[in-house]
Every structure is written in structure tokens, then in C-alpha cells.
Amino acid sequence: MEDFLTKHNFSKKDIKTIAKTCREMDFKKTDFENLERIIEYFLKLHFSQTAIARRIKAEPQLATTDVESIKKRVKELKDLKYDSKDIAKMLQINSKILTNPSDYLKSTLDFILSKKIKPNIALSMTVHYPYLFDCPNSEIDKKLAEIEKIGFSKEQALSIFEHHPAIVKKEPQFLLDHIGDLMDLDFTLEEAHHLISFSKVYLRGPRDVILAKIKLFLSLGLKNRILTDPYALVANIDSTLAKVEFLKGQGYTSPIHLDRYLFMSGTYFKNRFLVSPKEILVIYKARRELEIARQKKKEKE
């Protein structure tokens, strides 16, 4: 086995990890032969050597699973319309997908589809959060009900689940804290519910980075943009600040102008405003250097 792993560029550490699992599972000659075939198959799926060693450590049952049943399961995933890249990604996170009964996948997907979520979104949700397959449907339903109980509508609860499937593992306090953050910024309760469920990234970004973006847009009079554009909070705060400084320097200070120009694509922005494309980079760099210096000073203190 060691020669096989060395030939396939496994590091000593990864070899040690795999050998330990084989020992613990009391491997026989045929088990080793099967495992070699599994490893070759995973390498074909573009798993890294370390990822393979980790999967075997995390899910020892995988090492004794018949390689043909693994291939069959991957085919089932392809039949469900997952692409190869997404299959590899899911399996590297949750390899129980390969060892659990096939109903394990179908039950979750059928459940999501029963909520009138589009099939491509259902696939994307499980790719981004493959542990969703481990959540019993009743638990997801319970979580959705909990979200509704704290004031979100049924549609909003589903939207939160769509944008952030890991919500099924979060306590209600997580959403209550976010609602509190927004109400501290003078959003109404309805606006807070709307923004949290409507924005594509509200629950995916670091909480205070998202809040810093919201505060910035509010200070510029762009509350309406936040509430009507689900992508508004995707904007990078550093480049947005640089653009704001630049626009203000050019005399564009009204919310109408800022709303029009801040959300232009970078290329349009540069074509519209800059004498030299390097100009924005200079402003951007200056701001970043200042920010890093401030951060370091704060850490020293």
C-alpha cells in the first residue's frame, strides 16, 4: 500500500493517516486492493492526495466500500444534474453521500423541491452546504417554522434558507441579533426582515463588514438601494469608499448621483470618470495603507 501511495505522490503524513485507518479496520489483502481502486477513482475526480487521506480518516467506512458502488453513486449524482466539479466539491466535504443509502440524497432534494424552490437552486444549496443531506426534513421544517415565529413571512423564511442553507444549524438568536443590528440603525422591523431575507449576502458575509457597508450606504442617503437591490451589499467596502471619495472630489455628492455612479461596473466607472485607469488605484491604495496602519495601531493598543 505504501508503495502505491508513494507512487501517487501522497505525502508521508497522508500515508500515515491512511495506514492508521487501515490498521484500525483490520484490513485484509482484498481490502487494500479495493482501497487502491477507490483512491485511483478519487484522483480521477480531482481530489487532492490530502483530501483523500482526510476523507478516509473522517469516514473510515469509505475505505471498505466497494468501488463499483461509489461509481454508481457518482453516476446517480450526475443523473440528478450535479456537474462533476460540484460532485467532487460535495464529496470532499461530506463523504457520507457515498456511503449512505441513495434515499439520503433524494429525500432532501425532494423536500427542498416540495417548498417550490427551483431545481437548480436546490442543487446549488446542497453543493454549498452538503451537510444539508444530514438534516432530517422534519428538522428543516422546524427551523423554517422557528424563523417564521420570530416574525419573518413564510416566503422570507424560505428565502433565508435558499441564500444561507446553513441557517438550519443556527439558533434563532442568530437572526434576532441581525434584526437588532438593523433596528439600531433605524430600520423598521419590516425593513429588517425584508433586508435579511432579500439580500443575497446579508447572512454570508462577516457581520460587521456587512454592517459597515450598510452604515456607509445610509450615510450617503442610499437606504433605498439597500432595500431594493439584492446585490447592493456585495460591493467591496474598500473600493466603494475609494469611489465615494473620488466622486465627492468630483462634486457628485447627492444621493441620486452616488446611487447612479457607485453601482456602475468598474469598467463603466473608469470610462466615465477617470483620466487614467490608475487614478482609482492610487486612491484605493492610499485608503488601504491608512486602514492597515490604523488597524496595527489599534492592535498595539
Tell me which residues touch other proteins (CB under 8 A): 13, 46, 48, 50-51, 54, 57-58, 85, 89, 93-94, 124, 128, 131, 166, 169-170, 200-201, 204-209, 231, 234-239, 265-267, 281, 284, 288, 292, 295-296, 299
Q: Which is nearer to other proteins, 59 or 105 (CB)?
A: 59
| Smallest distance from other proteins to CB 116, Å | 19
| Smallest distance from other proteins to CB 246, Å | 17
Q: Which is nearer to other proteins, 64 or 240 (CB)?
A: 240
> Using an 8 Å Cβ cutoff, are 100 and 91 in contact?
no
Considering only CA atoms, which of 266, 264, 178, 192 is closest in space to residue 226?
192
Q: Which is nearer to other proteins, 13 or 72 (CB)?
A: 13
| Smallest distance from other proteins to CB 266, Å | 5
What is the Rg, in whole angstroms, of the alpha carbon atoms belonging to the chain? 25
| Smallest distance from other proteins to CB 85, Å | 7
| Smallest distance from other proteins to CB 205, Å | 6
Q: Which residue has the cell 457518482?
A: 74
| Smallest distance from other proteins to CB 292, Å | 7
Coil/strand/helix, residue 201: coil
DSSP string, 64-113: GS-HHHHHHHHHHHHHTT--HHHHHHHHHH-THHHHS-THHHHHHHHHHH
In this structure, the number of other CB atoms found within 10 A of the CB of residue 292 comes to 10
Q: Which is nearer to other proteins, 85 or 106 (CB)?
A: 85
Q: Which is nearer to other proteins, 93 or 185 (CB)?
A: 93
Cell numbers found for residue 26: 483490520
Q: Which is nearer to other proteins, 28 or 296 (CB)?
A: 296
